[in-house]
Amino acid sequence: MHQPNSRPLADTLLKETASQTAGPYVHIGLALELAGLPPRDEEIGPRLAGDGAKGEHIDLVGRVIDGNGDTVRDALLEAWQADADGEYQCQFDLAAPFNSFGRSAATAENDGEWRFATLKPGAVALADGRRMAPHVNLAIFARGINIQLQTRLYFDDEEAANAACPILNAIESVTRRQTLIATRETREGRPCYRFDIRLQGEGETVFFDF
């Protein structure tokens, strides 16, 4: 039995298991079809919103670009976003019209362009009642990335909400805030937001620690 209060808290806290790169073959484990493996009964994929989901249906697309300006062709992305009402649907259920979580990948086959089929999220409320501008949390895993990089995608047609977003405003560099704004385009008649992620150098995307 340990004597209460006899040692500092830090000694009683376990260390987190250390992170390692997901490596070049991450798709085998987390995006089977992209590795050339048959899918199992249910897979976590890039479609967050099905036909019946309420809200504006959109695509999110982009590339991951390294410090040399080259497109990364072996990245895996995880998206996490609220529904059109600004609520997270935490219970992942492929039978539901919308899921807050999804996975996509940039590979040689899609020329390094990842894509999510989703809907435009609503503004998410903070505990104090303020609202964040609509956004999608993205995590990037790849060979050469030792611990996942975490960023947020915002929307360029939400100027007023973006200007008031407490998280965007927490980024000290006003210039760097712009690296989180996706640009609206139309592709095959469907609204689409482009968001290129620059890992290093000029226009380097803001990555968060939280």
Partner 1 sequence: MSGREAFTWQAVVVGENGAIDELERPMPHNDDTRFVPRDHNWHPPAHAPGYKTSVARSPRQALVSLVAPTRSELAGPDFTSLRLGPHDNDLLLNFREDPALAGTAGLPIGERILLFGRVVDQFGKPVPQTLVEMWQANAGGRYRHKKDRYLAPLDPNFGGVGRCLSDADGWYRFRTIKPGPYPWPNDVNSWRPAHIHVSVMGPSISTRLITQMYFEGDPLIPLCPIVNTLRDPEAVATMTGRLDMARSRSMDCLAYRFDLVVRGAVQTYFENQG
Q: Which of residues 157-186 bind partner 1 (CB under 8 A)?
A: 167, 170-172, 176
* Binding residues among 37-76 for partner 1 as defined by CB under 8 A: 37, 40-42, 44, 66-68, 70, 72, 74
Choose the one of partner 1, Fe ion, none that binds residue 132, judging by a C-beta under 5 to 8 angstroms depending on kind: partner 1
- Is 94 a residue that touches partner 1 (CB under 8 A)? yes
204 part of the interface to partner 1, by CB under 8 A: yes
Contact between 182 and 195 under an 8 Å Cβ cutoff? The reply is: yes
Closer residue to partner 1 (CB): 92 or 190: 92
Number of residues that bind partner 1 (CB under 8 A): 82
26 is a contact residue toward partner 1 (CB under 8 A): yes
Answer yes or no: are the C-beta atoms of 166 and 126 closer than 8 Å.
yes
Instruction: Name 104's Cβ contacts closer than 8 Å, sequence gap at least 6.
Output: 31, 45, 46, 76, 77, 79, 114, 115, 116
155 scored as a contact of partner 1 (CB under 8 A): no
Is residue 44 helix, strand or coil?
coil
Burial (CB < 10 A; 0-12, 13-18, 19+), residue 187, is exposed
Nearer to partner 1, 78 or 113 (CB): 78
Smallest distance from partner 1 to CB 186, Å: 27
Kindly indicate which of the ranges 98-106, 111-119, 155-163, 181-189 contains the residues binding partner 1, using the contact rule CB under 8 A.
Answer: 98-106
Question: Are the beta carbons of 162 and 133 closer than 8 angstroms?
Answer: yes
DSSP state, 54? S
CB 140 within 8 A of CB 103: no
The one of Fe ion, partner 1, none whose footprint includes residue 88, by CB under 5 to 8 A per kind, is partner 1
DSSP 99: -
Residues 6+ apart with CB under 8 A from 54: 83, 84, 85, 97, 98, 119
Among 63, 115, 120, 135, binds partner 1 (CB under 8 A): 135
21 sits near partner 1 (criterion: CB under 8 A)? yes
Residues 14-43 touching Fe ion, rule: CB under 5 A, are: 23
How is residue 27 written in tokens? 């798709």
User: Smallest distance from the beta carbon of 153 to Fe ion, in angstroms?
Assistant: 29
Task: State which of residues 2, 3, 13, 52 lies at the interface with partner 1 (CB under 8 A).
Answer: 13
